Amino acid sequence: MEKLIAEVKDLIIETLNLEDVSADEIGNEDPLFDEGLGLDSIDALEIGVAIKKSYGVELKGEDTDTHFASVTALAQFIESRRA
């Protein structure tokens, strides 16, 4: 799981062009939206597209609030769907 978490952090940084953010600065349990990384709904769509391209996992009207709660939550979701 640690490897997948690191991959998800890199994917978020690259996909969203977060030039001033390094993977070390994103805590595994930090919220991705609002007071955390400060992402918004367009970012969520963009991450969804990137996850589909990279892992073949698609989010379809699921409990996105839960899956996008943190990097760990996102990694757990990917892991559960690609297993």
Partner 1 sequence: MKLDLRIDHLTFRAPWVDEDADLTADLFTKPDLKASLSKPKGKAAPMGTRRRMTPVSKMVIDAALNDEFPVDEMDYGVFSSRHGEATQKATLAENVLYREPISPTIFSQSVHNTSAGLFSIFRKCRKPTTSIAAGKQTLSTALLESHAYLADHPNAKVMVVAFDEMLQPALNIDKDCGETSATYALAMMVSRDNPNLSVQLNAEGEANDFELPETLQFLRWWLASPTDSLVTPGQNSLVAWQAV
Q: Is 12 in the site for partner 1 (CB under 8 A)?
A: no
Q: 71, 74, 57: which is closest to 23 by C-alpha?
A: 71
Nearer to partner 1, 4 or 16 (CB): 16
In the region spanning residues 31 to 50, those forming contacts with partner 1, defined by CB under 8 A, are 38, 40, 42, 45-46, 49
In whole angstroms, what is the distance from residue 42 CA to residue 72 CA?
20
Binding flags for partner 1, 63-82, as an x/- string (CB under 8 A): --------------------
In whole angstroms, what is the distance from residue 39 CA to residue 79 CA?
22
